[in-house]
Structure 1
């Protein structure tokens, strides 16, 4: 749509329309707040589960280190669940930000309560054909960077500390590796698998962070053809 065409389109400035948009903004902020709380909920589950596993494993010298890797697998499930919730959260956040930029910013600048039709197209299109605004891998990387990578590191270090000092302090690395066995799985395989998984999470975290840094777009790009620096 050209600048001339946008000038010919009547802006949405009726009291009923502006009131409806205000209620829509409240609804989108409420939904984003609810999904924000759901993100915190899964993070709390991961933290509490890790704390319980460490308490059980370090309760005595004869306690098994098995709860730590078991809770590690449970934390992976929490990570995937939270990444899915984060994708939904970004949908509501996207809509709330569009309403803020298209309606609230002009009001605060004294330009009046109106929204140009072309500036609302991005929002209307999102309602007609709703879609996620972030990929599943990017969501996983974001949640790793914010919370879960640190939880996994604590679990990783705690597991090595457990098999090193209990039941007595290991004299050699071979002795520590033998203590790392889980059932029929040899200790070496368990350690290698855990290390590779941790490095995989670190790689995803770094990759998604670099992708985010290279993305120079702003929310305003969805509303008009110029960028806000």
Structure 2
């Protein structure tokens, strides 16, 4: 199976459908692939835990900021703007970790759909005839498969849109309810920064986040469970 072996054809049935051999007879490659899959799943679980840690920290910090912001009338609404900025920082960290998580998940999915699915039902064949060559190349030259913009959009839709929405609504309530007798321009102002400028920056940031979350793009994440995938599966059933 070396790169320079002229006899290796990754699209040949005996090469791509080793899952069938795992059921019909015991093969050394099948045994190695099983241990390999166990290791890949463990790495997927580890990286998933890192994602959850970032989300937990984001929620904890958000809760602390909300408690402090509404603890007294004299607290500046700027603390909520700082909280939004902190959420954006956590989003950037989590998107980077999501790219790493996708590396291991894509390998696990490649084994699932081409090796184990073929072992359970050989009549279905394999999804990718060159899957062994693709996996081999990925081990020789590992690389990030998901663009950073897609990772940002995914984590925004799944986690950070709700968190940022809570912070935004809290900020609007803070400047509307805690400054009686003032206009929104006066209530939103910060030392040295007029209220319209503050509101304009917030609206711009919200628009950018919304556009990034809903902008249509080609999906590169492999094997992710979604409502669309589940609907397609039900139709096939």
- When the two structures are superposed, what TM-score results if normalisation uses the length of structure 1? 0.80
Instruction: Name the SS of the counterpart of 1:182 in structure 2.
Output: coil
Note if 1:20 corresponds to 2:32: yes
Task: Note the alpha carbon deviations across 1:48-67, whole angstroms, 9 max, x for none.
Answer: 11111111111122222222
Instruction: State the partner residue of 1:151.
Output: 163
What does residue range 23-172 of structure 1 map to in structure 2 within 5 Å?
A: 23-109=35-121, 118-166=130-178, 168-169=179-180, 171=181
Q: Distance in 1 between matches of 2:203 and 2:16?
A: 61
Note if 1:211 corresponds to 2:211: no
Task: Note the alpha carbon deviations across 1:38-78, whole angstroms, 9 max, x for none.
Answer: 11111111111111111111112222222211111111110
Q: Distance in 1 between matches of 2:13 and 2:42?
A: 33
Q: Distance in 2 between matches of 1:28 and 1:144?
A: 26
Distance 1:133 1:216, change over 3 A: closer
Task: Note the alpha carbon deviations across 1:95-135, whole angstroms, 9 max, x for none.
Answer: 00011112111221267xx9x98431111111112111210
Q: Distance in 2 between matches of 1:198 and 1:55?
A: 23
Note if 1:194 corresponds to 2:202: yes
Q: Distance in 2 between matches of 1:105 and 1:46?
A: 38
Note if 1:6 corresponds to 2:37: no
* Alpha carbons 2:16, 2:130 under 8 Å: kept: no
- Residue-pair matches, total: 208
Distance 1:198 1:216, change over 3 A: closer
Structure 1 range deviating more: 123-132 or 4-13: 4-13
Q: Distance in 1 between matches of 2:207 and 2:59?
A: 20
* Alpha carbons 2:11, 2:129 under 8 Å: kept: no
* Alpha carbons 1:88, 1:132 under 8 Å: kept: yes
Distance 1:72 1:11, change over 3 A: closer
Instruction: Name the SS of the counterpart of 2:72 in structure 1.
Output: coil
Instruction: State the partner residue of 1:222.
Output: none
* Alpha carbons 1:31, 1:92 under 8 Å: kept: yes
Distance 1:185 1:17, change over 3 A: same
- When the two structures are superposed, what TM-score results if normalisation uses the length of structure 2? 0.78
Structure 1 range deviating more: 16-25 or 80-89: 16-25
Unaligned runs of 5+ in 1: 220-227
Q: Distance in 2 between matches of 1:156 and 1:120?
A: 48
